[in-house]
Amino acid sequence: MTDTIAFIALVISVYGLWLSYKIAQIFALRNEDKMLVDELLAVLRDMQEQASHFFLDNRQERPNSHIYVANISSKISIASFIIHTLKNDRSILKSNIDLPFSDLYLYGTLDVEQVNKQKPENNAEQFANMDQAYLKCVGIIYRSFQAKYQRIDKIYNLI
């Protein structure tokens, strides 16, 4: 009888260790994905802030349009790489982010050489379009992350 109890205790202990290992793997992967999502959101936020200063500041404080486009283009490259990773390697994002992301780039760089010659209302409208694309991207990213890790959040609450 004691041998049976000892064997059952051993099996339960091994199963508990295996389960702890699997849960730790899931949480580690979730944390890595969360770091990628946070980095993507930070890059998009930087783009949005730069665009707000570029389009909404007065002419004397506005940076050179070539420098602005170079900054936005480098941030787009970084964001594209992270999006590619989150879509293909991590299976978090779907292709529904492609259109708002391209709109973000389009409205962020469209006719920037003419910004000083345009009316402030046109610049504000262009920034509003870019900001709307930014908000769509942020919403898609958050919903995609929550959809993938919804089950894990329930496990997290139980612990």
Q: Which of 80, 77, 76, 81 is nearest to 50 (CA)?
A: 76
DSSP character at residue 118: S
% of the chain beyond a pLDDT of 90: 53
What per-residue confidence (pLDDT) applies to 152?
A: 62
For residue 43, what is the enclosing H or E element?
Answer: helix 2-56
Could you read off the pLDDT of 9-21 as tens digits, one per residue?
888 898 888 888 8
Q: Using the structure block, give the residue that is written with the tokens 């929550």.
A: 146
pLDDT at residue 90 tops 80? yes
Rounded CA gap, 55 and 61, in Å?
11
**Has residue 60 got a pLDDT over 80?**
no
- Maximum CA extent, the chain: 91
Instruction: Note the pLDDT tens digit of each residue in 116-140.
Output: 888 889 999 999 999 999 999 999 9
Q: Which residues contact 51 (CB under 8 A, 6 or more apart)?
A: 72, 108, 127, 130, 131
- pLDDT-derived band at 158 (thresholds 50, 70, 90) equals low
Instruction: For the domain made up of 32-158, give the CATH fold.
Output: Four Helix Bundle (Hemerythrin (Met), subunit A) (1.20.120)
CB-CB contact of 134 with 43 (8 Å): no
- 68 touches 127 (CB < 8 A): no
- Mean pLDDT to the nearest integer, 58-77: 88
Residues 6 or more apart whose Cβ sits within 8 Å of residue 95: 87
pLDDT tens digits along 99-113: 999 999 999 999 898
Quickly tell me which residue has 């989150």 as its tokens.
86
